[in-house]
Chain A
Amino acid sequence: MGQGEEVEILSILLIGVSGMSVMALAIILFFIIYQKRLLKQQKEQRALESSHQKDLLEASLKSQENERLRIAKDLHDDIGALLSTSKLYIGQLLDKSEDQEKKLLVQKVERLHEDMIQSIRNIAQNLRPAVLENMGLVAAIKSLAKQINESRWLTVEFTYDHEALLAKERQLQLYRILQELITNTLKHARARTIHIELTRDGQCLRLVYKDDGIGFDPGRQAKKHAAKGLGLLNIESRLALLDGSIRYRDTRAGTDISLVVPNDLTNISENEH
């Protein structure tokens, strides 16, 4: 076999080896690109699903809030007005009554009416806090703290260095979260003091909630009840709408929760304290 033939065979071999190697590389590249595209598609689909779920949740919470507002208005404007009117009539009845026994009964009915009017005001206030609507989150938390402090069940301390720069609807979500936390403390914690702190954390709003009760472990709670309680789920759903995050600090005694919510600088003008 001559030199030429040897070169020819070597060339064929080289072409064969190169061809096979290029084919192998092409297959590998195809798979890497294919996988990357697939992951991108999955990511986009997940984002779409998550956005859809967020929209559904938002709509559901909005309709819940609208319903609360309607009930609060009905209670305040209709039943509240009727009770106030009937209280006036009772007052007249009291003036005209001469029988001492009857007078005592009418006085009792009048007191009951006063209690009813106050209860309806409280319920309406809880359903849609007017303070929050008119004066914002800080004033609403102050009012909530005052209300609880007056009950003398426990003491609420509230400190803040920052007014929430959030749209009204977002402030309401945060307020509802706080209400849920306070309800949990009142129901389960056996605490004597609640400490609420509202501070600025960069472009975010940080809400720290602490109590000196028996504390709870969300992980253990989830295992114990197979799923999280409605309260915790409610908090997390509302927080998801606010694009916020929650951190439960590990404490042997008491609750220590930190919520971080991005400030909504574009919607509200800054109002520093």
Chain B
Amino acid sequence: MTSVITISSYLFILPLGITFLRRNSLDDTQKLLQWVIYLLSASQMIGTALWYFKINNLPLIHIYPLIELAIFSVLYQKALRTSYHPNVIPFLTGLVIVFSIFNSVFVQSIFVFSSNSITLVSGVLIIYSISYFVKLLRDPPIDFLDRSPMFWINCAILIYFSGSFMIFMYSNYMLPKSKDTQMVMWGIHAILNMARFFLFSIALWVKEKR
């Protein structure tokens, strides 16, 4: 399980490499995803460095999911513009960010795992992702889905956040448990994280075809 967690920690290199290779031919959706990759890579590297120097890296968990949510909200705002009122996604995202800041200041200190905030972010992203699929059901696309970066991003979000939702929800409850239990929990998270990075890599690699 340790090796899975280690591989997962460095798998951000794959989508990062693809953003470098395809830097001149990325479309608007892929360009936004590129920023998510930069954010995840930076937080992964900073997190590892802080852990190496035995500094608490949990404050990162209070910040990067919010930036990730903000970037994905821009993507979904564009993808779901015909499904919702244009203010729904910015309002919902703003509400989650305000709640998360409130949570970090008054409920869960920045030095503990921000399970409330990250669970809420996961829930909102799952709703966006399912809404995107519902939209596909209502307006069947004429383009090839497997060539659409947004489809792969949506798959990555649905698989990663659906799987991780319960892990995040019970994380603070499980943290004081035995090392083996924690290993299983974060091992599963690592597998989901790997799936996310693979799917993000596909999203960055494909070229939209009509």
Q: Which residues of A contact B (CB under 8 A)?
A: 6, 9-10, 13-14, 16-17, 20-21, 23-25, 27-28, 31-32, 34-35, 38-39, 42
Q: A3 to nearest B CB, angstroms?
A: 8
- Closest residue of chain B to A16, judged by CB? B166
In the assembled complex, the Cα of A9 lies from the Cα of B192 at a distance in Å of 20
Given contact pairs A23-B162, A24-B159, A35-B140, A17 touches B145 in the complex (Cβ within 8 A): no
In the assembled complex, the Cα of A39 lies from the Cα of B144 at a distance in Å of 8
In the assembled complex, the Cα of A32 lies from the Cα of B155 at a distance in Å of 11
Q: B203 to nearest A CB, angstroms?
A: 13
- Closest residue of chain A to B154, judged by CB? A28
Partner of B162, one of A24, A31, A34, A42: A24
Q: 9 shortest A-B CB distances, which residue pairs?
A: A20-B162, A16-B166, A24-B162, A21-B163, A35-B145, A24-B158, A24-B159, A28-B155, A38-B140
- Decide: A13 and B185 in contact? CB cutoff 8 A: yes
B176-206: which have CB < 8 Å to A?
A: 177-178, 181, 184-185, 188, 192
Count CB-based A-B contacts (< 8 Å).
60
- Decide: A13 and B174 in contact? CB cutoff 8 A: yes
Interface of A is mostly: helix
Given contact pairs A17-B166, A42-B142, A10 touches B192 in the complex (Cβ within 8 A): no
- Decide: A13 and B167 in contact? CB cutoff 8 A: yes
The interface residues of chain B lying within 8 Å CB-to-CB of A13 are 166-167, 170, 174, 185
The interface residues of chain B lying within 8 Å CB-to-CB of A28 are 155, 158-159
- Closest residue of chain B to A10, judged by CB? B181
- Can you list, as one digit per residue, whether each of B67-82 has a CB less than 8 Å from chain A (1) or not (0)? 0000000000000000
The interface residues of chain A lying within 8 Å CB-to-CB of B185 are 10, 13
- Closest residue of chain B to A30, judged by CB? B133
Q: B128 to nearest A CB, angstroms?
A: 13
In the assembled complex, the Cα of A17 lies from the Cα of B177 at a distance in Å of 18
The interface residues of chain B lying within 8 Å CB-to-CB of A21 are 159, 162-163, 192
The interface residues of chain B lying within 8 Å CB-to-CB of A32 are 145-146
Q: A210 to nearest B CB, angstroms?
A: 36
In the assembled complex, the Cα of A28 lies from the Cα of B181 at a distance in Å of 30
- Closest residue of chain A to B159, judged by CB? A24
- Closest residue of chain A to B136, judged by CB? A31
In the assembled complex, the Cα of A35 lies from the Cα of B139 at a distance in Å of 11
Q: B161 to nearest A CB, angstroms?
A: 9
Q: A152 to nearest B CB, angstroms?
A: 53
In the assembled complex, the Cα of A20 lies from the Cα of B158 at a distance in Å of 9
- Can you list, as one digit per residue, whether each of B108-132 has a CB less than 8 Å from chain A (1) or not (0)? 0000000000000000000000100
In the assembled complex, the Cα of A6 lies from the Cα of B142 at a distance in Å of 50
- Closest residue of chain A to B146, judged by CB? A32
